Amino acid sequence: MVSNSDRPSNGALATVSRRVIEGVLTAWAAVSLTFFALRLIAGDPVASLLSQGLASPDQVENLRRSLGLDAPLLIQYLKFLSGLFRGDLGTSLYTSRPVGTVIAEQLPATAQLALTGLGFALLIGLTLGVISAWKEETSLGQFAASTAGLATALPVAFTGILGLILYRQILGVMPILGHDVVRRLILPASLLGFASAGAIARVVQASLKETMKGPYILAARARGIGHGFRLLWHALRPALPPVVSLTALEAAFLFAGTVVTETVFSRPGLGRLLVTSILQGDYPIAQGLVALAAMFYTTSHMLADILAFTIDPRLRRVT
């Protein structure tokens, strides 16, 4: 197959459109599963709603009726799906506010945390990965490799509490940034990033070692180019595609990680909203968040594929 390397080929387009269809199906499956699973796990929403009110049995049924929760489950599901197609996620059972509005209010805080966290994850992950591949035989390389292992093993629930205990000392290291920035962003984002950095570091290291075996690296070496330069200049770029795919996965993982991080650091955001809405039986909000997460997950995978095509021209020729 002949293709122009400056333009994505039919193969790439086919991959992307397949991804879109897969994405829509995944989102539908996730949303439907959530709809029924929530009702199985979290029980009667009206019971939760009245958990602090002493209603009479008649008053309970009145509330159920006025919220439309007396309709058969299948009818409720179809209503929910048709709403979803019109972009209407319904309203919160507790406040009657549109779910879209409630989510939009919390989104910026989570986006800020997750993006900064992703930045830290890549920064720490790439650094650790390159060092452990470059200085493999030295104690520095060993240290980088074991730090990456530790990062994967320690959950934010643990490092977060540790960070909070030590944060006065941490603040002392970067006093210019001030209390709020360190406490509310740098600390949570770096710990969230740290948790994801381990996986990235390992893939960077493995991928680098693999590409270093390639003939063009040997050619570079023959031209008298040094080891470090070969690694960073010639090997890193072809080593990146698997890292990009992983980063997309990690982005979803980070999104999930914000649940714990937001709770430990008392930050607003979607993670807290999700936990609260499930515990309190506010189904419309929980469903809306899952719909959003499913779309986010599939979109980030699609973007990762497209980015991989951009970084490594070889992929464009493969269908």
Based on the shown chain and the rule CB under 8 A, indicate whether residue 72 belongs to the binding site for another protein. no
Judged by CB, which is closer to another protein: 132, or 277? 277
x/- letters, 299..318, toward another protein (CB under 8 A): -----------xx-------
Based on the shown chain and the rule CB under 8 A, indicate whether residue 5 belongs to the binding site for another protein. no
Based on the shown chain and the rule CB under 8 A, indicate whether residue 82 belongs to the binding site for another protein. no
CB of 41 to another protein, least distance (A): 7
> What are the residues whose beta carbons fall under 8 Å from the beta carbon of 314, sequence distance 6 or more?
none
Considering only residues 169 through 188, tell me which ones interact with another protein, judged by CB under 8 A: 177-181, 183-186
Considering only residues 193 through 232, tell me which ones interact with another protein, judged by CB under 8 A: none
Residue of the chain from 9, 15, 34, 106 that contacts another protein (CB under 8 A): 106
CB of 266 to another protein, least distance (A): 5
> Helix or strand or coil: residue 84?
helix
CA distance 202 to 128: 8
CA distance 199 to 44: 40
CB-CB contact of 257 with 267 (8 Å)? no
Judged by CB, which is closer to another protein: 34, or 92? 92
Tokens 């960073």, residue? 232
- When computed from its CA atoms, the radius of gyration of the chain, rounded to whole angstroms, is 24
Residues paired with 255 in a beta bridge? none
Judged by CB, which is closer to another protein: 205, or 261? 261
- CA distance readout (Å), 58 to 50, 55, 104: 13, 8, 36
Judged by CB, which is closer to another protein: 88, or 105? 105
CA distance 81 to 288: 11
x/- letters, 16..55, toward another protein (CB under 8 A): -------------------------xxxxx-xxxxxxxxx
Residue of the chain from 1, 6, 66, 175 that contacts another protein (CB under 8 A): 66
Question: Which residue in 246, 256, 250, 257 sits closest to 156, CA to CA?
Answer: 257
Amino acid in the structure at residue 211: T
Residue of the chain from 35, 80, 120, 255 that contacts another protein (CB under 8 A): 120
x/- letters, 228..267, toward another protein (CB under 8 A): --------xx--x---------------------xxxxxx
Based on the shown chain and the rule CB under 8 A, indicate whether residue 9 belongs to the binding site for another protein. no
CB-CB contact of 127 with 147 (8 Å)? no
